[in-house]
Amino acid sequence: MAYQVGMQEDSIVRKGPWLEEEDKRLATFVTVMGERRWDSIARVSGLRRSGKSCRLRWLNYLRPDLKRGRMTTEEERTILQLQEQWGNKWSKIARSLPGRTDNEIKNYWRTHLRKKVQEQKQEVSQEERTNAASTSTRSNEKTKFEHHDVLDIEDTSKDSVDGVHELRNNALLASSPYEISLLDWISSSNQTSPKQQQAQNCFFGSSSTDAEIMLNYCPGSPWEI
DNA sequence: AAGCATACCAACCGCAGTGAT
DNA sequence: AATCACTGCGGTTGGTATGCT
């Protein structure tokens, strides 16, 4: 599944789906180092991922302010409106939808909305041709495409599927690394609790070098060994 | 039950923009 | 001014779940 490329053992870059442990480790380091210098985060964290991959994982999945679950009708409306207005400027559109990522919006557009819009436009042009043929007096009628028309299209076929997705999303939420506040762990006390100890082992157990580097970014933290 | 088709979405890739040196 | 590293963006790919025959 996950595959690797590289010539030397220590330069191998992992690709493919992220493991829970990798998520936790990344979240910890981003919390400490900030959402910048992704190459440094990738290097310092000991994650065998590219900086680019780390950034993407954080922005699209780990960020604490992300909204989960289905798009609301209001959000769907906004996407349709802004997509028509700005085109495929997904990051720009995402700024109008707090908690949603450009990737999420892009995927949603491609899988849910694009087809609907195309069908709607086809219907409109078909209607235009019919109207033009039948009478010239009605040729100036409003034929502009309206977003709410698209939203009103019934799509009963996806109901059962969406139910499953909701379950999946809930499961995802429940297993999010943010169930446990990493920030709290780092900033709370000088005493390392059993849970903190467990995480410490998880993150740093195999590499004292990582722990030492971490301490440089977070002096006096409970991670001190 | 098995195989195929489709939908969904996480992750990757290439390119362009930007700032630092 | 040129170069390099980093970041952000949009398009695309591939794996998995689900539905259909």
On the 0-12 / 13-18 / 19+ scale of CB atoms within 10 A, A176 is middle
Structure tokens at A128: 């235009």
Indicate if A80 and A26 belong to the same structural domain: no
Q: For residue A136, what pLDDT is reported?
A: 55
What count of Cα atoms within 13 Å lies in the side-chain half-sphere of residue A129? 5
Whether residue A26 contacts residue A54, with contact meaning beta carbons closer than 8 Å, is answered with yes
**Does residue A213 lie in a domain region?**
yes
Q: For residue A68, what pLDDT is reported?
A: 77
- DSSP class per residue in chain A: ---EE-SSGGG-EE-SSPPHHHHHHHHHHHHHH-S--HHHHHHHH---S-HHHHHHHIIIII-TT---SPPPHHHHHHHHHHHHHHSS-HHHHHTTSTT--HHHHHHHIIIIIHHHHHHHHHHHHHHHHHHHHH-STTTTS-----HHHHHHS--GGGHHHHHHHHHHHHHHHHT-GGGS-HHHHHHS-SS--HHHHHHHHHHHTT-HHHHHHHHHHSTT-TT--
Near-strand C residues (CB closer than 7 A):
A 1, 36-40, 51-52, 55, 88-92, 102-103, 106-107, 110, 157, 160-161, 164, 167-168
Spanning CA of A37 to C1' of B20, the rounded length in angstroms is: 13
**Does residue A175 lie in a domain region?**
no
Indicate if A125 and A206 belong to the same structural domain: no
**Does residue A37 lie in a domain region?**
yes
Indicate if A190 and A136 belong to the same structural domain: no
Residue A143 beta carbon within 7 A of nucleic strand B: no
**Does residue A167 lie in a domain region?**
no
Indicate if A58 and A83 belong to the same structural domain: no
Q: For residue A135, what pLDDT is reported?
A: 59
Residue A72 beta carbon within 7 A of nucleic strand B: no
**Does residue A169 lie in a domain region?**
no
**Does residue A23 lie in a domain region?**
yes
Indicate if A105 and A151 belong to the same structural domain: yes
What count of Cα atoms within 13 Å lies in the side-chain half-sphere of residue A74? 4
Indicate if A92 and A151 belong to the same structural domain: yes
Indicate if A141 and A85 belong to the same structural domain: yes
Residue A107 beta carbon within 7 A of nucleic strand B: yes
Indicate if A108 and A32 belong to the same structural domain: no
Q: How far apart are CA A35 and CA A38, in angstroms?
A: 7
Question: Which single residue has its CA nearest the C1' atom of nucleotide B9?
Answer: A107
Indicate if A106 and A31 belong to the same structural domain: no
Domain boundary among A162, A191, A206: A162
Protein-contacted positions of strand B (CB under 7 Å): 7-14
Residue A90 beta carbon within 7 A of nucleic strand B: no
Indicate if A97 and A147 belong to the same structural domain: yes
Instruction: List per-residue pLDDT tens for chain A, 225 residues long.
Output: 333 433 333 456 888 889 888 999 999 888 888 888 888 898 888 888 888 899 889 988 898 888 878 888 888 888 888 888 888 888 888 888 888 988 889 888 888 887 777 767 777 777 777 887 775 544 444 333 333 333 333 333 333 333 333 333 333 333 333 333 343 333 333 344 443 444 344 444 433 344 444 545 444 333 322
**Does residue A225 lie in a domain region?**
no
Question: Domain range spanning residue A87?
Answer: 73-162
User: What sign results for the dihedral spanned by CA atoms A132, A133, A138, A141?
Assistant: negative
Number of structural domains found in chain A: 2
Find the CATH number of the domain harbouring A194: 1.10.10.60
**Does residue A174 lie in a domain region?**
no
Indicate if A148 and A98 belong to the same structural domain: yes
Spanning CA of A150 to C1' of C14, the rounded length in angstroms is: 30
Indicate if A190 and A209 belong to the same structural domain: yes
